[in-house]
């Protein structure tokens, strides 16, 4: 197999999670070429990890479709402020709430604050995640495994549990899983494990909520150009991100966000629940 070509300039960020403002080139996450049609007019959404990357594109896409949005983020205040500015430029309301969703007390407070700001809740996007590279499975530290599970799947439990009392008939929950849930990744065993758990969580919750007429679906992105990449991989691997995809490039957040808009819109996906969409650059997966 030929060596993967470089798709981006070499770069690395020491902090986790990464910062979109430091990436070169910056991700396309502003939905600048997206043409809306009022699919989400009057709807109210929470997007975790909404400060940058896929979460930013989803939040802006929702706003362009007519929704007010609350974004939850960890400590990426500059990125979150820019996302809020872009949403408000669409003529919609936005609030940014900082904290760790892996803490169930914060998750509960954040959802309550978001619901007060929004005046209700119709859409929940569970998108926040972290990942850490480890070449040897036996060397993965206990604290890393616990941290990854706390953010990626337990945080999803906490936020969803807090949001459910506010979601009524016609509401939508959309979870971010990953291509790694289907293909695996030897360098991301703990991360891939959480993403597999999210698939099971999505399918199970969809069955639990079907009688309440709340739809639950997921999106499994492939290699997307987001701050998680330079914050996780070294400069050489970051430069080759996405080269192994069938399309031989990483995807952009703007190319992923329409999947979430589709699943959030009752006019488009009213008969879809318990399913996963796969914007991954052409890789065929089952499930």
Which pLDDT tens digit goes with each residue over 9-53?
999 998 877 889 899 999 999 999 999 999 999 999 999 999 999
Percentage of the chain exceeding pLDDT 90: 91
Residue 287's pLDDT is 66
> What does the pLDDT average to over 99-111?
98
Number of neighbours of residue 42 by Cβ within 10 angstroms:
10
- Categorize the per-residue pLDDT at 160 as very low, low, confident or very high, splitting at 50, 70 and 90: very high
Give the confidence band of 6 by pLDDT, cuts at 50, 70, 90.
very high
Residue bearing tokens 């459910």: 164
- For residue 237, say if its preceding peptide bond is cis, omega within 30 degrees of 0: no
Q: Which of 164, 94, 90 is nearest to 126 (CA)?
A: 164
What pLDDT sits at residue 16? Answer: 77
Task: Give 204-229 pLDDT, tens digit per residue.
Answer: 999 999 999 999 999 999 999 999 89
At 2, the pLDDT band (50, 70, 90 cuts) reads low
Write down the pLDDT at residue 150. 97
Q: How many residues does the chain have?
A: 287
Burial code (b: 16+ CB inside 10 Å, e: under 16) for 226-252 equals bbbbbbbbeeebbbbbbbebeeebbbb
- For the cut 90, the answer to whether the pLDDT of residue 286 exceeds it is no
HSE-up (13 A, CA, CB side) for residue 192: 15
Model pLDDT, residue 76 = 86
Indicate which residues carry an active-site annotation: 191
Assess whether pLDDT exceeds 80 at residue 58: yes
| Distance in angstroms (rounded) separating the CA atoms of residues 272 and 216 | 8
Beta bridge partners of 219: 176, 277
Q: Indicate the pLDDT class of residue 3, thresholds 50, 70 and 90.
A: low
Predicted confidence at residue 74, as pLDDT, reads 94
Are 282 and 253 in contact by the 8 Å Cβ rule? The answer is no
For residue 63, the Cα-to-chain-centroid distance in whole angstroms is 16
What mean pLDDT value characterizes the chain? 96
The Cα 64–Cα 29 span in angstroms is 13
List, for residues 243-279, the tens digit of each pLDDT value: 999 999 999 999 999 999 999 999 999 999 999 999 9
In this predicted structure, what is the pLDDT of residue 55?
Answer: 98
Which are the contacts of 140, defined by CB distance < 8 A and separation ≥ 6? 134, 189, 190
pLDDT at 15: 81
For residues 91-117, give the mean pLDDT: 98
| Amino acid 112: pLDDT | 98
* Domains of the chain from N-terminus onward: 34-277 (3.40.50.720)
What number is the average pLDDT over the span 59-72?
98
């Amino acid at each position: 197999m030929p060596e993967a070509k470089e798709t981006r300039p070499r770069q690395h960020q020491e902090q986790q999670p990464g910062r979109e403002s430091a990436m070169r080139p910056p991700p396309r996450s502003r939905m600048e070429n997206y043409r809306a049609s009022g699919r989400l007019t009057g709807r109210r959404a929470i997007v975790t990890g909404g400060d940058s990357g896929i979460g930013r594109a989803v939040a802006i896409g929702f706003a362009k479709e007519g929704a007010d949005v609350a974004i939850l983020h960890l400590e990426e205040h500059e990125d979150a402020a820019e996302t809020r500015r872009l949403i408000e430029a669409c003529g919609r309301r936005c609030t940014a709430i900082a904290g760790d969703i892996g803490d169930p007390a914060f998750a509960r407070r954040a959802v309550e604050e978001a619901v007060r700001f929004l005046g209700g809740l119709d859409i929940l996007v569970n998108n926040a995640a972290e990942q850490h590279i480890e070449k040897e499975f036996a060397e993965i530290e206990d604290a890393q495994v616990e941290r990854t599970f706390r953010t990626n799947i337990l945080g999803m439990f906490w936020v969803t549990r807090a949001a459910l009392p506010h979601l009524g008939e016609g509401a939508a929950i959309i979870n971010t899983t990953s291509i790694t849930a289907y293909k695996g990744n030897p360098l991301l065993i703990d991360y891939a494990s959480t993403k597999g758990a999210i698939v099971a969580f999505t399918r199970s919750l969809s069955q639990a909520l079907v009688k309440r007429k709340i739809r639950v679906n997921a999106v499994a992105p492939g290699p997307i150009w987001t701050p998680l990449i330079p914050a996780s991989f070294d400069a050489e691997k970051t430069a080759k991100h996405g080269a192994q995809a069938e399309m031989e490039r990483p995807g952009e957040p703007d190319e992923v966000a329409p999947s979430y808009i589709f699943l959030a819109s009752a006019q488009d996906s009213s008969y879809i629940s318990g399913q996963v969409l796969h914007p991954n650059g052409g890789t065929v997966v089952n499930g």
